[in-house]
Amino acid sequence: MSPVTDFSAVAEGDELPPLTLRVTRADLVRYAGASGDFNPIHWNDRTADAVGLPGVIAHGMLTMALAGRFVTGWVGDPAAVRSYGVRFTRPVVVPDDDEGATLELSGKVKALTEADGVRIARIDIVAKFDGRTVLGRAAAEIALPG
Amino acid sequence: MPDESWVGRSLDPSDPYQVSRVKIREFATAIGEDSRICHEVDAARAAGHPDVVAPPTFAATITMPLIEAFLREPAFGWDYSRMVHGDQSITLHRPIRAGDELVTVIHVDDLSTRAGSHMLTLRCELTDADGADVASTKAMLVTQAAP
């Protein structure tokens, strides 16, 4: 996804270009190592089964990070985020195959404000897995360039 | 049964967490963030940062092990094995970057029980070596009632 270059034209109601991502078991293992979250429900089928999950699930924080990357990719700057919050409403089940789980991300400019000469966009994010939302009240406030 | 007398209390400040370039790159790679300012010092400096910049949710990788250590203390009475993450928010006063030494203070903001499930809200305040506020994270954690 190439970043938007002219942000002066961004308006409330604008939609971000949607992004579809695959999340595989290898991604979960990589995220476990990078984040230090080695909870076995994110890599071990026996544990996931024992605690009543439908399968190994993605770290909520990985889903949150991917949805955050969707927004920072649009703005072209991972340092632009002022605040970001989500509710984890449904698990993302990641099967042990080459396809993994498919995450569909979309977003909209919900509000534009200005603080100290910087334009702040509030982006409402929708993250779907299997056609159902997995993040609730997902929103990020980002500083728009220039 | 978690100990409700903890609500309103805060824990002792953590040891400083040293943010490294390697860890930022590793984290950025794990979430597919290929922005050069997360990977290359020169690119980060050209963009006005002193060093490579961490993606926004990196803050939680600093705080989660501290939260886990607290919740595994038997004195608090939390069933870690049945825990799920309810929600998470992160406020960044500035980006976290390599070279930062960040001290975290965990605040127990809220604890409630509904239908046998316990809901705990922990807020983490991260400050740098100068004592300046860097980030604030808030996690709502739930232990579900045993089936």
- pLDDT, residue A19, reads 97
| Subunit contact B30:A78, Cβ cutoff 8 A | no
Residue B131 confidence (pLDDT) above 90: yes
When scoring B85, B140, B141 by the number of chain A Cβ atoms within 10 A, the one with the most, hence best to mutate, is B85
Residues pairing with A121 in the sheet? A112, A142
How many A-B residue pairs are in contact by the CB < 8 A criterion?
110
Specify the pLDDT at position A6: 77
Using 50, 70 and 90 to split pLDDT, how confident is the model at A51? Answer: confident
What is chain A's length?
A: 146
User: What's the ipTM?
Assistant: 0.94
Q: Are A36 and B66 in contact (CB under 8 A)?
A: no
Contacts of B46 (CB under 8 A, 6+ apart): none
- Chain B contact probe: residue of A27, A43, A61 with most B CBs at under 10 A: A61
Is residue A127 within 8 angstroms of chain B, CB to CB? no
Q: Pick the range with the lowest mean pLDDT from A38-52, B10-24, B119-133.
A: A38-52
Query: Is 90 exceeded by the pLDDT of residue A91?
Result: yes
Determine the length of chain B. Answer: 147
Of A27, A36, A78, the CB nearest to B37: A78
B53 and chain A: CB distance < 8 Å anywhere?
Answer: yes
Average pLDDT over residues A124-139: 96
Average pLDDT of B124-146? 93
What are the CA-CA distances from residue B100 to residues A4, B16, B61 (Å)?
A: 30, 9, 14
Q: Does B43 contact chain A (CB < 8 Å)? A: no
User: pLDDT exceeding 90 applies to what percent of chain A?
Assistant: 86
d(CA B21, CA B88) in angstroms, rounded, equals 25
What is the reported pLDDT for B147? Answer: 59
